[in-house]
Amino acid sequence: MSKNSSYWTSNLKLVGLCLVIWFVVSYLFGIILVEPLNAIKIGGYKLGFWFAQQGSIYVFIALIFFYAKRMGKLDKEHNVHEDDE
């Protein structure tokens, strides 16, 4: 496997992981599983409602930071980073 192929395979796996997490949190937790999750209360709010209204946004923002940090590491591992270090 070439260096570029290995890099892009790792990149696509990371993107796939982020998309799966985003799908689970926003679609499954926020829409499909909202009723079972509403049986759980955190801070006085039903968990299903929280995921539908705020949780998916917080998870999406966390995924952006996770992706940026992990891509920085991946770029350095494959020596395609932009830093002059």
pLDDT digits (tens, 9 = 90+) for 39-81: 999 888 899 888 888 888 999 999 999 999 999 999 999 888 7
Strand partners, 69: none
Q: Which domain holds residue 37?
A: 3-77
Residue 28 lies in a domain: yes
**14 within some domain:** yes
Would 50 be classed as within a structural domain?
A: yes
Radius of gyration of the chain (CA): 17
pLDDT bucket at 85, cuts 50 / 70 / 90: low
Banded model confidence at residue 19, pLDDT cuts 50, 70, 90:
very high
Query: Could you give the number of structural domains in the chain?
Result: 1
pLDDT at residue 71, rounded to an integer: 93
Q: List the one residue out of 71, 67, 72, 70 whose CA is nearest residue 85.
A: 72
Query: Is 67 a member of any domain?
Result: yes
Q: Say what the pLDDT of residue 56 is.
A: 87
Report yes or no on 22 lying in a domain.
yes
